[in-house]
Structure 1
Amino acid sequence: MEAGAGEDLPRLRSGGWLSWRAFGLIALALAGLALLWWLALLQRPAIEADLEERAIEALRNTGESWVQVRFNGRDAVITGEALAEQPRVKVLAALENLFGVRQVSDSIVMLPERRPFTFTAVRDGRTLLVSGYVPSAYALARIAEAARALPGGLSVQGVDRLVRARGAPAGDFSAVVSFALQQLIRLPAGRVTLSDDVMTIEGRSPDLATYDALAATFRDPLPQGFRVGTFAVRPPVATPYTWAAVRDADQIHLLGHVPSQEARQQVLAAVRGAIDDARVVDEMQLADGAPSADRWVKAVSYALRQLARLPKGRVLISDTSITLEGASPDYGSFDALMAARRAPPEGFTLARFLVEPPQVSPFLWAATLIGDTLKLTGVAPSEEAGRGIVEAARSVLPGITVADDTKLASGGPPADAWVNAANFALAQLAKLREGRAELSGTRITLSGE
């Protein structure tokens, strides 16, 4: 029994030594692993920073700046809002092929697509309301910043209700919105709308300078390739609504207001129709407030036809009143003007007719009494003077029939002097049974029995 126990002792010692040796190796291995793990922990921030820097560079090279990337060790996590599947695939491929990246966790959100892609801003006084779609959170932030930076202390509403979506036209959408808002705030009230790549603006301009500036802006190319849909900005309201044409030989100077560009072309066509060889100076300005666009154009055409009968003259339309001034060259023109005076266009009145009749020399007038008829012939200096003489004749010759064939003319004595002379002549003629009184200027010739 003792011999058996002695024989087992070296084996037991050998087995124990081996066990302790194995234990030592295991402990050493574990310590090495712990050291490596600790060293890895120390290096992790540097590794993540390096990977993030190279990842950002790789994304910049793809042109997809909308995506955000962060690293958990060598594992990438990408977030953002994709406008299409192709950019998302491009981003994933760029990061998966980046040296040092173990795996890529895709947290990209695919935005819903909207057609048409619309954005609207409405200004009403000090309130600006925005609505519609934006292509990204980044664009939303820029649009909000641009809206709140507008002058005038506007109350901006609706930014928090803008919807991110796919379908925006190519280019910098937020820059187009900022441009549109800058145009809108020129109007005290109005609306600007983006629909895909078309921009529309409407409202009323506070003055002609603003209207002209906006019209020029929308005639020029719009940013980011956008097109003008409708330019529906209305010019300011003019009170009174005036228009004038001044003629001096073959030149026509157009002044005052015109309700639209279409009406402007109609006025220019009316000038060419009335005075074919006229040189036109167009200084008409757009303004709202015409009594009726159609009737206004007809009234202007009527006025230009009358002006065409005067080698030098002026016609003015103020609201619905027409004034005609000038000197008629002959009786054909004057008679036509007198006829037109009695038939103004619908809705308008010829309030002032200041056309001088043709000049005559000598300035002759006669009153001839035969039986129970008094015939007045020749010329008078004015309508008022002519009417006064008819009334005077009926007064000094009661019961006599007065036949008035007097015409108006220029070139005579002053109206008051002429009327006094004519009244004196009638008073003398009334003393005769039959006779004739003549005026040449203010010189009286009397004959009869």
Structure 2
Amino acid sequence: MSETKTVTRSPLLAAAVFLGSFMALLDASVVSVALPTIQRELHAEFTDLQWIVDGYTVALAALILTGGTLGDRYGRKRIYLGGLAVFTLASLGCGLAPTLALLIAARVVQGAAAAAVIPGGIALLAHAYPEPRERARMLGAWGGVAGCALVIGPLVGGPITDALGWPTIFLINLPIGIFAVLAGHRGLDESSDPAHGALDLPGQLLGALWIGSFTYAVIASDAVVAVVGAVGLIAFIVMELRAPHPMLPIRLFGKFRFAASIFTSFVLGFACYPLPVLIAVYLQQAWGSTASTTGVQMLPYVVANALLAFFSGRLAGRFTAERVLPIGLAITAAGSFAFLLVDTTSPYWLLSVPLTLSGVGLGLSITPTNVVGLAGLPVQRTGTAAGTVNAARQVGMALGVAALGALLDHGSTLTTGLQTAMAVAGAALLAVTVLTAATLRSAR
């Protein structure tokens, strides 16, 4: 039976959810422009740098379903604020890490804590705004904050890295995290749904095994570990089909829009989310840009993504998410393919074209994907459902950083590597555009 209190909508609710989610998502991208600096100062290889990103995303992807379930079971406010507190402490650990190994370890803890914060924030908003249009508007605002966080990271990370050093990009989380926890303590209402919050420990362990194994196999080109990941995935599916309370809500996949949202989220994570990492490395190593200059050069992506993300909720409410989503996906595909025209002799305006298209497309796509996934679901399942949608995106990002990063690193030149990576990303986005346009139209 669902347990809730009377819903209040204090301004502190929005402050706690938006700031906490912003911080958790910012740290998925803010590190991108600092990677070359970290590589020099900690004497790391490129494959080690990928783990600074993927240590975070793998932990987030592996645990985000459990984060949603813990909120359903033990209280969404309690789990959300606990995740924020741990995330803030882990940020301190990142900033003080003297070695690469300790930095990666702290990033893993950050990712694990973010697994409670991200689905928790969405579920808290869904609980506070149950009316469909209001919910779409607030999820649109959350999508705007999320899009801003993901793309503004390179913009603010560059100047901070050049002026104050790379540890500062993590230490700036401390005041944000403390304020968000205090705001949440006063402004959030508690809600839970213990009947839908059973924990699935075997599923959790197998989920972490196959996600981590596949990511490591791609980064290290290890076929044996890939086989371990495949076996783990098969065992995970079998376990979830038989479990009385599965970690992965198999029954929800019977709802067509939810299944479409999961697939789209995975492709967006794979093809779009690694872009700041790839472009930051390319600009600094191929174009010779500084960290600060890299952030400025990515401004078209930042602005386009942020603006469209804020308006996408309204567009989805007016024209339906099923109509807006394929348009956003098509624009992201065009942006990826446009990178094939860029090389080290290109003028900046030419680089700004694919950056702008990619930002516009991603900004248009995130909120409609979430709206499609949550449409028609009872509010009691929003924590688990939101966790599943975001897990697909984070699994995609972890594998995308590994796979597209490997293509960038192993090209005959960085330009060739980038063009190959963007061609693969564009093909994936084009495929999901066609499938989404056809299937969502037929499901209306």
Q: TM-score, normalised by structure 1?
A: 0.18
Structure number with greater CO (CA < 8 Å, separation at least 6) is: 2
Where is the helix percentage greater, Structure 1 or Structure 2? 2
Q: TM-score, normalised by structure 2?
A: 0.18
